[in-house]
Amino acid sequence: MLYRNIGKPLFFKMDPEKAHHLVVGGLGRTVKVPGTEAVMRGLYGITETPDLAADLFGLHFPTPVGLAAGLDKNGKAVRGFSSIGFGFMEVGTVTPLGQPGNELPRLFRLPSDEALINRMGFNNEGAEALARRLSALKERPIPVAVNIGKNKVTPNEEAHRDYEACIRELYPYGDFFVVNISSPNTPDLRSLQHGSELSSLLDAVMSEMSRQALKHGKQKSILVKIAPDVSDGELEYMVDTIARSGVSGIIATNTTLSREGLSHGNAQESGGLSGKPLRERSTAIISKIYRQTNGSLPIIGSGGIFTAQDAYEKIRAGASLVEIYTALIYEGPEVNRRLHAGLRELLKRDGYAHISEAVGADHR
């Protein structure tokens, strides 16, 4: 109620990107004040419960709901986001070299559709700056994934070098990694999802992960984040290639270029659409991946989750974990407690003692 009555009206009067930076920067600075993390946990945190805690990728997730990439691109507020009920979070997308991203304005709200459009373009301070911030964290209460991409000026035939560079720089500091080849806002990036480019890229990525595992004495998982705007044939090929590569899992999905069913005037803006209009498409993609792999490849579901029912539909479709982003903007940090309580009720209703029992239930 605090966010809905006070925070949201204030932020929604501001330019969306300015509000974004205010929230992330403010959250990062606030936790440096002694005692504030405990206050935030008291206001928005979640007590871990056995029915929703999960172990995956060699990591423990206190809740199945995480924060998607894009909100904390530079790892400035990891402690803050860790205090408001998330079970894990992604930082990034990070590129080897810092870059400004696309021209302003590049972030747009669509309140009547409960959606966002962004064409940020991987704006970030670079891998070295992110490594410095993550290395300074004294403790990490939730797993932190590093979402990696390529610089805009890097041609696709050399893209693997950028992903390798990010892995080398950040391997000691990420709990797991995500290969972003599905943002619609970097020219030609999505073509890396298809054909021989995908298998070549993943071969290079997996080789670098193996080298770093030997160097640091610890094996870490890496996932691939895919786009929703693919045909069934393209999806089948992508999933087959990803599964054969040895990658640990898939995040489904990134934002969409579709504008179907939108009512707000900002629908004409170019960029990736997130929020409620993406919900059904991303859930359908999850279901197809689970069916194709017989549930052998873990999936993190992302796209349009606002309620516990939304999250549960993705879990029953085949997702082991889920992520939110746009819901946090529209609903505020209270959303995590509602999702947690609602998921527990849904599990109880269906007679499941643990969330893992519900994963892929619609296929049985």
Catalytic entry in 183, 221, 245, 248:
183
User: Is position 183 annotated as part of the catalytic site?
Assistant: yes
Q: What is the 3-state secondary structure (H, E, C) of the chain?
A: CHHHHHHHHHHCCCCHHHHHHHHHHHHHHHCCCCCHHHHHHHHHCCCCCCCCCEEECCEEECCCEEECCCCCCCCCCHHHHHCCCCCEEEEEEECCEEECCCCCCCEEEEHHHCEEEECCCCCEEEHHHHHHHHHCCCCCCCCEEEEECCCCCCCHHHHHHHHHHHHHHHCCCCCEEEEECCCCCCCCHHHHHCHHHHHHHHHHHHHHHHHHHHHHCCCCEEEEEECCCCCHHHHHHHHHHHHHHCCCEEEECCCECCCCCCCCHHHHCCCEEEEHHHHHHHHHHHHHHHHHHCCCCCEEEECCCCCHHHHHHHHHHCCCEEEECHHHHHHCCCHHHHHHHHHHHHHHHCCCCCHHHCCCHHHC
Active site amino acids: 183
